[in-house]
């Protein structure tokens, strides 16, 4: 769930054929689906999760977000921030049902649909001009049909590139349409904070702030050599291009439903979070090796945690760029684990899964590679393992089995 709370909403429906890429994002999707059964709660702060135990927030209405409630936050903390909020339990089968219905509406407008997750997609509507009209008109038709047939709302960003379209849809939330004509791309981007750039997380933001960069325009005005020195060659080049509105990626429709995962069941329940994080690292590395062997990149990373009472939680996150680098998969899995707030609760099983797989060669030709350094190291390790055996080269952190772990822990690959 995005941290967007609708306070910076911006809309515009300029008819510009050059803004042919749409990014469509359902508004507070899980919460909105639940409110179909509770219309009396519309306009009120609502949290989707379980009020009991150590449940985390699955989604929240914009009214709750304005109090600082975010996804993956413990429900107990969310209720302290917004004590008047109503907590409703999630129903994932309903979310899948409405997702299929909405994606079907997108595909009626154009066959060029790239579903990013259960509630968002890119569309290329350049071929729909004669039948449906301009990108703005197509976006409005889709919004009206989604609301008419499902009762849900969505926000649409239209631009010449995927990056700008996605930023625009975020600015249009909730229930809005924002078109950024190509000629106005830089005027739109440059006043935005640096966090608007894909790939700028807390660490990168800190590095950019350290050299006095606060807006996208600041990044655009900074010499490339300075950016590369501050954040590394790969990230520096990527941010330089994005800040100038450059994004060569096209809408990719070919996807595979397969996933690749590994999990481990401990002989004795584990409460040591350091041991659990090390196991996530092992599993992420195994998943990445299989991805590379199969020639796939993963759009989504998921983790699975099963506690001593057999309660099982799964969490997932869609990457900004697809990856098959173990370090990237681990960092995402580790962030998801941190957000769960296990807090010493005994764990009997952990798992890491790569989902929404796409062809590696076709994607890498069109994307920046933010993990170039790690990728080179891991592909070198792949070559050494192929030559000398799988156990010949291992991460330093994996050389010693965590103290107390039973050697017979079960690792079961799942496809």
Distance CA 13, CA 139 (A): 9
Strands 46-48 and 86-88: parallel
Distance CA 371, CA 301 (A): 15
How many Å is the Cα radius of gyration of the chain?
A: 22
Indicate the SS3 state at residue 398: helix
Of the candidates 34, 63, 114, 120, the residue annotated as catalytic is 120
Q: Which long-range contacts (CB under 8 A, 24 or more apart) does 249-253 make?
A: 249/161, 249/162, 249/366, 249/367, 250/124, 250/366, 251/21, 251/112, 251/113, 251/114, 251/122, 251/123, 251/124, 251/162, 252/114, 252/358, 252/362, 252/363, 252/366, 253/111, 253/112, 253/113, 253/114
Element (H, E) at 263: strand 260-270
DSSP letters, 161-195, are SHHHHHHHHHHH-SS-EEE--GGGHHHHHTTSBGG
Residues in the chain: 415
Annotated catalytic, 120? yes
Q: Which DSSP state fits 245?
A: T
Distance CA 158, CA 16 (A): 9
Residues with catalytic function: 120
């Amino acid at each position: 769930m995005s941290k967007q709370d609708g306070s910076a909403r911006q809309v515009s429906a300029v008819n510009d054929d050059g803004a042919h890429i749409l990014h469509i994002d359902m508004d507070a999707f899980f919460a909105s689906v639940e409110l179909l059964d509770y219309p009396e709660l519309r306009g009120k702060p609502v949290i989707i999760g379980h009020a009991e135990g150590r449940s985390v927030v699955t989604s929240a209405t914009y009214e709750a977000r304005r109090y600082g409630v975010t996804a993956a936050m413990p429900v107990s903390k969310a209720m302290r921030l917004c004590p008047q909020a109503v907590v409703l339990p999630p129903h994932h089968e309903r979310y899948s049902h409405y997702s299929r219905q909405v994606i079907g509406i997108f595909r009626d407008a154009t066959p060029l649909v790239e579903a990013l997750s259960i509630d968002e997609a890119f569309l290329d509507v350049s071929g729909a001009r004669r039948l449906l009209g301009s990108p703005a008109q197509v976006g409005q038709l889709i919004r009206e049909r989604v609301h008419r047939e499902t009762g849900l709302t969505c926000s649409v960003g239209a631009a010449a590139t995927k990056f700008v379209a996605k930023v625009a849809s975020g600015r249009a939330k909730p229930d809005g349409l924002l078109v950024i004509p190509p000629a106005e791309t830089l005027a739109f981007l440059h006043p935005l904070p640096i966090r608007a750039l894909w790939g700028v997380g807390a660490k990168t933001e800190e590095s950019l702030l350290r050299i006095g960069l606060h807006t996208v325009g600041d990044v655009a005005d900074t010499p490339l050599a300075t950016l590369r020195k501050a954040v590394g060659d790969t990230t520096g080049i990527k941010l330089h291009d994005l800040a100038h509105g450059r994004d060569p990626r096209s809408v990719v429709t070919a996807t595979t439903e397969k996933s690749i995962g590994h999990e481990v069941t401990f002989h004795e329940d584990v409460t040591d979070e350091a041991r659990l994080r090390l196991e996530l690292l092992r599993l992420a590395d195994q998943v990445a090796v299989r991805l590379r062997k199969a020639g796939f990149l993963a759009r989504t990373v998921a983790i699975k945690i099963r506690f001593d009472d057999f309660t099982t939680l799964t969490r997932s996150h869609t990457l900004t760029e697809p990856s098959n680098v173990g370090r990237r998969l681990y960092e995402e899995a580790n962030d998801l684990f941190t957000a769960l707030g296990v807090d010493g609760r005994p764990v009997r099983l952990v798992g890491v899964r790569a989902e929404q797989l796409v062809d590696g060669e076709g994607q890498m030709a069109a994307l920046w590679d933010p993990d170039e350094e790690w990728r080179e190291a891991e592909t070198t390790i792949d070559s050494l393992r192929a030559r000398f055996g799988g156990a010949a080269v291992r991460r330093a952190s994996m050389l010693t089995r965590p103290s107390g772990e039973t050697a017979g822990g079960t690792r079961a690959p799942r496809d």
